[in-house]
Structure formats: C-alpha cells, structure tokens
Structure 1
Amino acid sequence: MIRFTSTTRACSTTAFFGFVGLRVILFCWLNLWLVTDTLARRSTPASDSAVYATFFSPSGRQVLRAADLEGIAREWLMLHQLAQQTPDQYRQYQLLHDRMRHRLWVTQLQVSATAAELDNEEEQAERVGDAVRERQGRREHRFTVASIVVSALTSVVSGVILSRNRGTSSLDVIGVVGGVAGVGLSLPNLLQPKGKWYEHKRNALASLWLDQNDTDLIAPTVWRFMHDRPGADVATLRDELVNQWKESDRANPLYFSEGGRYTADQLATRAAMLDQAEAYVKQIQKSISELATTLDANPPTTR
C-alpha cells in the first residue's frame, strides 16, 4: 500500500513538472511568434502602402480619407489579398466590407444633398435672372414704341406746316417739342435702377470662396474631399475651382455676400458659378461609385 502511494506521488510529481514545462515552452513559443510577427509587420510598411496605392485609385483613396475609412480599408484589403479564407476570416472580411459599403452609402447621400443644394441655388438664380431680363425687355419695348410714335407725330406735324407754308419758325418749335418729348421718354428708362434685389443668406459660393463652412451648407465629407490634396504639387478641388473664378474675372464681392442688387447678366454669372461648383461635387459621386465597384470586384472564397 505504501509502495503504491509512493509510486502514485512520483507519477503526479512528474506529470506536474511536465505540465509546467509544456506551459513554459508554449509561452516562450507564443512570445517568439508575436515578436517575429511584429518585426515582420514593421519591416514591410512600404509594401503594404504600395499594395494599398495599387489597389485603390487616387480618387478612391481620396474618398476613403474623406469618409474616414482608411484604417478599415487597409484591414479589409489585407483579408481581400487572401485567395481563400477560413470561415472566421471570411466573416471578418464580410463585416468590414459591409461597414465600408454602409459608410459609402451615407457619404453618397451627403454628396447628393450638397449637389441638390447647389442645383437649387443655381435654378433660383436663373429663374430670377430670366424674370429681370423679361421685365427689362418689356420696359425697353414700351419706350421704343413711344419714341417711334413721338418721332412719327413730329414728322407729320412738320409736313403739315411745310405744306401750308407757315415758315421755318414753326418747324423749329415742332422740332424742339419733339426732341424734348423723346428725351422725356428716354429719361425714365435711363434713370430707373437696373436689375433686382436678390438675397441669398445661404451662400455656397461664399463658403468656398472664403474657405469657411460654418453653417455646414456643404456636407463635411464633401468639404474634406474638396480640401484633400492628392499629391504634394497637386491643387485641391477647392483651390482649383476658386482659381477658375479668379481667372474668368468672377471675383465680384456681390456673389460672395448675403445678397444685393443684381443685373440679369450678374445673375447668369452666379448661376454659372454654382453650376461649376456642382460639377466638382458630382466628381465625388463618380469617385464613390468607382470605389464601390472596386470593393465588390473579385471577393475571396472560403476554404
């Protein structure tokens, strides 16, 4: 009985030390693996960046930065590079994919809202400009007809006087009266203020020109995209747009204020500037669509 107990204790002691030794070996191996993996990751950042830059287009990378998706995109890309994945890896891949697609969908809605805002301002400026041009045309038409009538009456009266041999003094009087009448008809047209008072307290042009988006008139994601610099020597979309306005002599303070008296031509210019801004915003929509296509292309399979 004693011999059996001693043997049992010896076996237990051996098993205990064996178990401890196994744990020590596993612990050392795990730490060695973690250190090796960390060093490997740190030693190849350039290759990861190169793959990231190759996989996503410049405009796609701009969208990812603007939507704050760079970190998720890099992790997603690491999983995407695997030709086949374990079920757990595939679920993680799908989760990241769904998160990015959802964020892109929200970004697309924000971009569409900004484009709609710009389009609404453009249409309003065009509508007011057309009304001003139509009113001005009617007024000029009335004065033109009145001037023609006065000139015709002056000619008729002058002809009657000549036919009756009343002398040149009467003709002079008629000429003076006709001239004064013509001037009287022209003065209201000349002195009347041109254009129409037009207010635009929500002014997207001012936000872009002054580089201030205090009212969030332009969606934050759109604002970040338009200020994103693709390269060191590449202008941002906002700078490019503002430079176009400067080169085309459209730096009128009226366009960037809260409103004022506009002529029909100035309203047409304002509408054209808003159309330019809308075109730049729609570039972002195109970039988002291209990025979504990239995300959905060639998904990995499970093994």
Structure 2
Amino acid sequence: MKLLKIFAGSIIVSFLVSSCSTVLKSTKINYLTSNYCQPTIQYDYSQLETPKNKIQKQDSILNAHLSKHDLLVSQAIGIETYLAEYLQVKKDTLKRLVLKQKITDRLMLTTIEINALASELDCNGERINKLADYIDDINNKKTRNLTVASVTLGALTTVATVLIKNNNAGNIVGVTGGLLSAGLGALTISPKGKKIELRLQRNLLGNIWYNDNTNEAYPNSIWTLINEKQFSNSGENDLQESIKNRWTQYNFDGKIDSKTQKLFFDDGGIYTADDLHSRANMLNELQATIRSLEQDLKSLAVRLNSF
C-alpha cells in the first residue's frame, strides 16, 4: 500500500509537469532558429543597365517575331529594347554581336536569380523541417514515457487491489489507480507538445501573402513574372495569387486569424511542431513555383535561338 502511494504520488507529479507546454531553449534550437540561409550581402540592382527609351517600331517588330508569352518574359527581364534593335539591325555584324551578348547576359542573370532565390527557399525549408523533427522527437519520447507509466500504474493498481483484503481500501486503490492511469492514457492520445520561439527578420512567405516587395527580397524580374497572369496555367490568377489561395485553403482551412497571420507572414512567434511542418511545406511549395519560371525562360531562349 505504501509503495502504491509513493508511486502514485510520483505519477501525479509527472502528470502535472508533462501537461505543461514549455518553450524549448537549447544550443541546437538557437542554431536552427538563426537564419543562416539569408544572403550575406544586399544585392544592388541599380547597377544593371536597362534601356530607357524604345527604339523606332519596337512594338511592331517584337509582336511580329514573338508570342505574347515570350514578349512578356522579355519585358520582365529587361531585354525588349535590345531584342528589337537586334532584329532591326541586319548588316552591322559587330553591333549585332554586342546586342546578342547583352541579351544572353540578361537571360543568364535571370537564371542565376531564380536559382539563388530557390536555393534560399530550399535552405529555409530544410532548416525549419529539422526544427520540427527535433521537437517531434522530444514529444514522441514524452508520449512513450507516459505510455510506460500508464501501463505500469495499471499493473500495480491491479496487484494492490488483489492483495488488499479490506474491500473499501481495495476499491479506493482501484478507483484512484484507474483514474490516474486513464489520465496518463489521455495525455498519450492528445499530448501538449513542446514549442520553440522563431523570430523572422527576412520572411519570403510574407512578400507573397501581402503581395508586397518593397523590401526587394525578390529580384524585380522574378517579382514581375509571378505577378503576370500569362505565366499561370489557368490564366485567371497570377502565380502570387495562386500560391496564396492554395495556402489559405490547404494550410489554414479557408480562413486565417490575425495571430496565425503574424506567425507565418510577419515576424514569427511561438511555433508548435505542426506549425513548423506547415511552414516548411509552404517554403518548399514556393521554391517549386520559383523554379518553374525556368520553363518560361526556356520558351524565350528557344525562340531567340531561331533568329
């Protein structure tokens, strides 16, 4: 009887402690919550040479040689004037070579921009997933411990009930042990998981959610492409709108409150493992969309190669 009381007391204490949801703090957490994926420098796009004025007959020349899709791509990456001039110049071989080099350089730069942004998103997706897995491991260990405690307490309660000859005492022990075992069992079904604090100084999801690139986290060429309806399969919503709609429907069940919006799209806060998994999935989805822009560049490159 004394042994059961001692064990029950320890179980009650562990029950109360395990039911408290705490924010984890450790060296591992600190390392992963630090955004080592963020670029170490600020890109200066002002140095890019972009033609300011259209050449004579530019629109008619481009419309005659390019589809609407490829024309929009050329405008987004800033080569339409170079391209129109290249198509207009016939005999000046040197000038054509210079113009072709400028067009090729801009195509290459846009490809680099796409890959750089996709790499940052990929890095963040892996970082956040690692955080989520770390918390999952801690939560799973707690659940296993609660399961063992519940089974052990149930077994001791059964033995004590049989050994105690006083029916009233035996009933009390049985009921008390049963309640404690049931409580521990309930915790294994719906445990209160651990959480972490994650603060966001550079939130690439926020640019998409608010359709705002004033911080220039996205290169102008990419931002222009994802805000043009022509580059989505439906043609009804641009890529930015499509991504936001999918997040709303599949990550937030069609609606989102201000607290969740701040957590995912502003400066962060306290995350559960499920929140982190959702964030990682959103980063990976955005990465795939950014990489898909290479298909649009390919279409233009194939057409230019035929000139």
Compute the TM-score of the two structures, normalised by the length of structure 1.
0.70
Residue equivalent to 1:142: 145
1:268 aligns with 2:267: no
State the AA in 2 paired with 1:100: I
Work out the CA distance in 1 between the residues paired with 2:282 and 2:113.
Answer: 21
What SS is found at the alignment partner of 1:248?
helix
**Secondary structure at 1:230 match in 2:** helix
1:138-171 deviation digits (Å, cap 9, x = unpaired): 101101101110000001111223xxxx231121
2:150 partner amino acid: S
| Distance in 1 of aligned mates of 2:286 and 2:192 | 34
Cα distance in 1 for partners of 2:242, 2:176 equals 59
1:76 aligns with 2:78: no
- Aligned partner of 1:128: which letter? L
Deviation at 1:110, TM superposition (A): 1.4
Instruction: Give how far 1:61 is off.
Output: 2.6
Residue of structure 2 in register with 1:5 after alignment: none
Report deviation, 1:230: 2.9
Q: 1:53 aligns with which of 54, 57, 66?
A: 66
SS of the counterpart of 2:197? strand
CA–CA distance in structure 1, aligned partners of residues 149 and 202 of structure 2: 42
Q: How many residues align?
A: 241
Q: 1:245 to 1:191 in 2, by over 3 A?
A: closer
Report the secondary structure of 2:269's partner residue. Answer: strand
User: Residues 121 and 183 from structure 1, CA distance in 2 versus in 1: closer, same or farther, beyond 3 angstroms?
Assistant: same
- Report Cα offsets for 1:77-114 as digits up to 9, x if no partner: 334xxxxx53xx22222111110001111121111111
Provide the TM-score with structure 2 as the length reference. 0.69
Q: Is the 8 A contact 1:119 1:278 kept in 2?
A: yes
C-alpha deviation, 1:49, in angstroms: 4.7
More helix by share: 1
Question: Is the 1:52–1:74 Cα contact (8 Å) retained in structure 2?
Answer: no
Note closer, same or farther for the CA distance 1:61–1:196 as it changes in structure 2 (3 Å cut).
Answer: same
| Partner SS, residue 213 of structure 1 | coil
Report the secondary structure of 2:156's partner residue. helix
1:290 aligns with 2:299: yes
* Structure 2 equivalent of residue 220 of structure 1: 220
How much is the aligned-residue C-alpha RMSD, in angstroms? Answer: 2.7
Specify every segment of 5 or more residues in structure 1 that has no aligned partner in the other structure, as ranges.
1-40, 80-84
Aligned counterpart, 1:7: none
When Rg is computed on C-alpha atoms for both structures, the one with the higher figure is: 1
Identity, in percent, stands at: 24
Query: How far apart are 1:293 and its partner, in Å?
Result: 3.2
- Where does residue 20 of structure 1 map in the other structure? none
Q: Report the CA distance between 1:207 and its aligned residue.
A: 1.1
Equivalent residue of 2:270, what SS?
Answer: strand
Partner of 1:92: 95
Q: Which runs of 4+ in 1 moved over 6 A?
A: 186-191
Letter in 2 for 1:141: R
SS at structure 2 position matched to 1:216: coil
